[in-house]
C-alpha cells in the first residue's frame, strides 16, 4: 500500500503543478478576481479550522483545504503571469501601428540570413500618437543591412507594424506559435535598414547585461584556442550552449543519434561539473565544516558557470535544483532552496528528492509557463 505521509512535497508539488496546468489549458474557468477571492477564503478557512482544532474541537480536514489552496495558487499564478491578459499589452491595440520602440532583451542568435533577438515593446505609435504598452516580440535583422548583431539593451525606433505569428500549416507540425506563447511572445518582425533607427543603449538589467558580455567574451576565448569554423561551433554549443554556428546537417546528425540534448547546456553539464567538484573536494568532506565548505565552493563555481553561459534558463533550472539561487531576483525560489540546502546540510534525514521537489515549486513560482516548454527547447535550438 502506498503511503503519502513520508512524501509531503510530492503532494504539494503535484497539486501545485496541477493548478498550473489547469491555468494553462483552461484559463477561462475562473477570472482573476474570483480566483483571488477564493484564495483568501480558503486561507481564512484553513486558519480558522486550525485554531479550532488546536482548541480541541472536531478534527477538520486541514490537509484537503491546504491542497485545494495550492491548486488554486498554481491556477492564479498562471493568470497573473500571462502578459496577454493585461489591458496594456499591445496585443489588444485595435488601431494600426505607424511605428514602435523596441528594447533588445536577449543575446542575438545568428541565422543564415539574419540576426534573431527578443525585444520589449515599451511604446507604440498609432495615428493618434504614442502610447505606452507592454509585451515581447521576436525581431529578425537582415544581415545584408546589419553587419553587426544588435546588443542587449539597444533601443530602436522601428517603422511599420509587426506580424502575428502564424499557426502550423500542416497536421502534426511543431506548433512554434504555441511554443512562443508560453514565452509570452505573439508577434515577429523582419527588419531592413530603412525601417530601423538606433536611439540609445539602455539595458533593462545590469546583471543580465554583464552576463551576456561574459558569454560573448567566453565565446571569443573558445574561438581563439579552437581551430576550424565547425569545431568552434561545436565547442561553443557544448560549453556555452550557443548553437548559432551549427549547420542543419550537423544538427540532424546529433538528432538522429539521440545526442541533441548535449548541444543545449542544461542539467547534464551542471551535473558533470558538480560531480567533478564533489570528487575533488571529497578529502575535506569529513573535516569540521567540510560540508559547508563543499556547499559554498560548489555554489560559487556553478553560479559562475551559469553567469558565463549568459544565465541560460536551462542552466538556471539545473543550478536551482542543486543549490539556493542567491543571484536570482525571485524571493520564493531563494527562500525555498536556501531552506532545504540548510536542512540537508544539517541532517541526513532530508532526502534529495524533497530538495528537488521544493526547488521545482520555487522555479515554477518564478516561471509558471516553464512546465509547458520542458523538452521543447531543443526543437528550436538551431
CA separation for the pair 311, 206 (Å, rounded): 13
- Indicate whether this model's pTM tops 0.85: no
Q: What would the grid cell of residue 232 be?
A: 568552434
pLDDT at 168: 83
**Residue of 304 and 61 predicted with greater confidence:** 304
CA separation for the pair 92, 124 (Å, rounded): 12
DSSP 228: S
CA separation for the pair 229, 363 (Å, rounded): 37
The share of the chain scoring above pLDDT 90, in percent, equals: 17
- Give every CB contact of residue 110 below 8 A, 6+ residues apart in sequence: 116, 149, 244, 245
SS3 state at 42: helix
Please give the average per-residue pLDDT across 24-43, as a whole number: 90
CA separation for the pair 377, 318 (Å, rounded): 15
CA angle, 195 as apex, 194 and 201 as ends, to 5°? 110
Residue 206 has pLDDT above 60, yes or no: yes
Residue 213 has pLDDT above 60, yes or no: yes
pLDDT at 357: 53
Domain ranges of the chain: 8-81, 90-204, 205-382
**Residue of 192 and 285 predicted with greater confidence:** 192
Contact 75, 20 (CB under 8 A): yes
Helix orientation angle between 290-308 and 267-280, rounded to the nearest 10 degrees: 140
Bridge partners of residue 117, in order along the sequence: 139
Chosen CATH of 90-204 out of 2.40.50, 1.10.10, 2.30.29, 2.60.40:
2.40.50
Query: How far, CA to CA in Å, does 170 sit from each of 119, 166, 180?
Result: 29, 12, 18
Q: Which residue has the cell 524571493?
A: 331
pLDDT at 350: 40
Residue 221 has pLDDT above 80, yes or no: yes
pLDDT at 378: 42
- Give every CB contact of residue 71 below 8 A, 6+ residues apart in sequence: 15, 16, 18, 19, 22
Q: What would the grid cell of residue 354 be?
A: 524533497
Element containing residue 292 per DSSP (H, E): helix 290-308
Amino acid at each position: 500500500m502506498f503511503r503519502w505521509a513520508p512524501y509531503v512535497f510530492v503532494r504539494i508539488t503535484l497539486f501545485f503543478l496541477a493548478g498550473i496546468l489547469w491555468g494553462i489549458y483552461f484559463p477561462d474557468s475562473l477570472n482573476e478576481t474570483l480566483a483571488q477571492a477564493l484564495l483568501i477564503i480558503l486561507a481564512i478557512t484553513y486558519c480558522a479550522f486550525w485554531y479550532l482544532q488546536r482548541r480541541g474541537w472536531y478534527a477538520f480536514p486541514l490537509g484537503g483545504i491546504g491542497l485545494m489552496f495550492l491548486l488554486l495558487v498554481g491556477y492564479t499564478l498562471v493568470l497573473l503571469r500571462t502578459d496577454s491578459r493585461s489591458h496594456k499589452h499591445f496585443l489588444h491595440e485595435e488601431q494600426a501601428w505607424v511605428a514602435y520602440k523596441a528594447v533588445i532583451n536577449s543575446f542575438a542568435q545568428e541565422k543564415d540570413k539574419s540576426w534573431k533577438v527578443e525585444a520589449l515593446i515599451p511604446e507604440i505609435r498609432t495615428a493618434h500618437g504614442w502610447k505606452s504598452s507592454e509585451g515581447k516580440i521576436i525581431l529578425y535583422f537582415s544581415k545584408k543591412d546589419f553587419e553587426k548583431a544588435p546588443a542587449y539593451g539597444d533601443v530602436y525606433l522601428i517603422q511599420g507594424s509587426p506580424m502575428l505569428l502564424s499557426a502550423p500549416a500542416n497536421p502534426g507540425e511543431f506548433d512554434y506559435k504555441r511554443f512562443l506563447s508560453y514565452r509570452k511572445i505573439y508577434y515577429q518582425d523582419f527588419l531592413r535598414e530603412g525601417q530601423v533607427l538606433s536611439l540609445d543603449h539602455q539595458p533593462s538589467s545590469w546583471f543580465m547585461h554583464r552576463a551576456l558580455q561574459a558569454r560573448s567574451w567566453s565565446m571569443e576565448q573558445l574561438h581563439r584556442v579552437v581551430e576550424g569554423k565547425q569545431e568552434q561551433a561545436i565547442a561553443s554549443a557544448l560549453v556555452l550552449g550557443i548553437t548559432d554556428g551549427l549547420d542543419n546537417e550537423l544538427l540532424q546528425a546529433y538528432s538522429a543519434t539521440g545526442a541533441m540534448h548535449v548541444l543545449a547546456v542544461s542539467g547534464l553539464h551542471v551535473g558533470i561539473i558538480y560531480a567533478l567538484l564533489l570528487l575533488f573536494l571529497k578529502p575535506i568532506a569529513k573535516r569540521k565544516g567540510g560540508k559547508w565548505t563543499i556547499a559554498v565552493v560548489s555554489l560559487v563555481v556553478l553560479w559562475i558557470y551559469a553567469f558565463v553561459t549568459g544565465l541560460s534558463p536551462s542552466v538556471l533550472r539545473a543550478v536551482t535544483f542543486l543549490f539556493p539561487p542567491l543571484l536570482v531576483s525571485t524571493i520564493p525560489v531563494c527562500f525555498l532552496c536556501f531552506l532545504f540546502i540548510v536542512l540537508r546540510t544539517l541532517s541526513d534525514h532530508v532526502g534529495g528528492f524533497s530538495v528537488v521537489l521544493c526547488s521545482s515549486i520555487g522555479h515554477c513560482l518564478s516561471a509558471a509557463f516553464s512546465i509547458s516548454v520542458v523538452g521543447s527547447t531543443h526543437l528550436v535550438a538551431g
